[in-house]
Amino acid sequence: GQQLNQSPQSMFIQEGEDVSMNCTSSSIFNTWLWYKQEPGEGPVLLIALYKAGELTSNGRLTAQFGITRKDSFLNISASIPSDVGIYFCAGHFSSGSRLTFGEGTQLTVNP
Amino acid sequence: DAGVIQSPRHEVTEMGQEVTLRCKPISGHDYLFWYRQTMMRGLELLIYFNNNVPIDDSGMPEDRFSAKMPNASFSTLKIQPSEPRDSAVYFCASSYGQGVGNEQFFGPGTRLTVL
């Protein structure tokens, strides 16, 4: 089946630093999504990418759909303490297929 | 809209007992998904429904698990009998459609502990 490899597994950074995390797959994905999960809550959609090469921003967050359609990255600029949480990449292998999730990146921001 | 609603938020039970988790999807969403999250296996899709009909239950771990959607605004996930290895957070999610452009919105989850 399709698998997503997400890295790094965890990050410990200082407030104000920029953050970068990525997701790769051995298969081509038609959609890349980035979710954030805070403690005790469900994942919340941050950014959705639908076209190879697409670069999309949402405030301090920027994500790109890799040109090969097998990878995506998420950048967070000028991190703040409320950025703490688990960030998941997810994707659709094809329209109508299940949503496949990466293993998640646990982000800790020290004030 | 209130978003996806799940109940209970926390459930602690003893091995062998029946557990029922409940979900109310976002109004107007035709798809409903049940996921399980554990440290070891991450987020796993258990089953999903389209217009109240189960479409793919291949993720349901075993016969002890069952899910129903009697109407468009309510679904249940039942575990009978429960076992300690069922301890996890169970999420319900819903969407307008399936696949590209129809993104899933998650509920807050039910944290299940089976002693």
Spatial distance between the Cα atoms of B53 and B31, rounded to a whole number of angstroms: 9
Q: B28 CB near a chain A CB, below 8 Å? A: no
Q: Which of A30, A42, A99 sits opposite B107 (nearest CB)?
A: A42
pLDDT tens-place string over residues A66-105: 999 999 999 999 999 999 999 999 988 766 667 889 999 9
Question: Are the CB atoms for B32 and B48 separated by under 8 Å?
Answer: yes
Interchain pair A103, B99: CB under 8 A: no
Interchain pair A40, B105: CB under 8 A: no
pLDDT tens-place string over residues B57-109: 999 988 999 999 999 999 999 999 999 999 999 999 999 887 667 789 999 99
The type of residue at A100 is T
Cis preceding linkage at B81, omega within 30? yes
SS3 (DSSP) at A19: strand
Interchain pair A42, B100: CB under 8 A: no
Mean pLDDT value of segment A32-40 = 94
Interchain pair B93, A94: CB under 8 A: no
**Cβ-count burial B100-111 (b if 16+ within 10 Å, e if not):** bebbbbbbbbbb
The pairing of strands A105-110 and A10-14 is: parallel
